[in-house]
Amino acid sequence: MKTRMLGELAVSEIGYGTMSFTSIYGQSPDKAESIRIIRGAHDLGITLFDTAEAYGPWTNEELVGEALAPIRDEVIIASKFGFDLEGRFGATGPGTNSRPERIRSVVDAMLTRLRTDRIDLLYQHRVDPNVPIEDVAGTVKDLVAAGKVGHFGLSEASAATIRRAHEVQPVAALQSEYSLWTRDPEAEVLAVCEELGIGFVPWSPLGQGFLTGTISAATAIGENDFRSYQPRYTEEARLANQALIDLLHRVAVARGCTPAQIALAWLLYRKPFIVPIPGTRKLERIRENIGAADVVFSSDDIRDIDDALARIEIHGARLNEEHLKLTNG
């Protein structure tokens, strides 16, 4: 697989998000099968693996660490800090905590869980309104100097916050939701990333599965599934958003590929520093996702798709109100 740059960090042009190996989308495979799939992703050419202390919490880092231990020097491990996992939980989960002392202790714990001596890319998972971003960036800068962290990243941060952090410690990557039905980063953030030489890593590039074309209004979403309390996943919203899937199907059929491949290829075409991290629990889906790198668009193709997208209204907020509050960084 070809590589792309996240700042000065070279990674496969399609990465792998491992959050789905928690129970967020229902029962996950057993550990042995999960490890087989994660290692299989590397065998297929993926080098960027994304996790976080909040996934589980903690158990996902342990799984990723065990899976990647035999090939540690062949991969890039990205993880995230920033939630108050030891503190009081609100109605939808923990609040933020990026105090410098917690960042330092979290990184030490991450190194143990991930079975490694450094974290290649360390993100602040969500901007903490109670801690100046300069203090966060300065703390990570110290960890970089100590050899515990390779590169610094932010997640769901605003253009202004990115600039402030970058002045203290270069930001290698910005990870935010971005896809055919979530295009918020196009307003300001992508331009700032391009200006400052920062990579962009779209999370949920397949719309939590919807953009694969395998989910309809009739699809049952379990009550323990993260999507069951997101506005865009109500039955009514899924029915209304079927127009987007119809468009993807038309484009995919014309090109002899799948809707998921079109959705990922569209992202790859937007900017050369974009590296999507689709997640899946199935090796055949990883193979499918990687195939997106072989889809070639012309400028006319993209114009036609974008013109069609402009005529489609997306129904439902991308996250519920409580989760959206954590993205205003």
Residues 6+ apart with CB under 8 A from 274: 4, 178, 199, 200, 201, 202, 267, 268
Query: Which two tokens mark 124?
Result: 């602040």
Query: Do residues 162 and 197 touch, judged by C-beta distance below 8 A?
Result: no
CA distance linking residue 327 with residue 88, whole number of Å: 20
CA distance linking residue 252 with residue 255, whole number of Å: 5
In the set 25, 55, 123, 233, the catalytic residue is 55
Closest CA to 136 of 188, 175, 171: 171
Closest CA to 109 of 145, 144, 157, 57: 57
Can you tell me which residue has the tokens 């050899």? Answer: 147
AA identity, residue 285: R
Does the annotation count 229 as an active-site position?
no
Catalytic site residues?
55
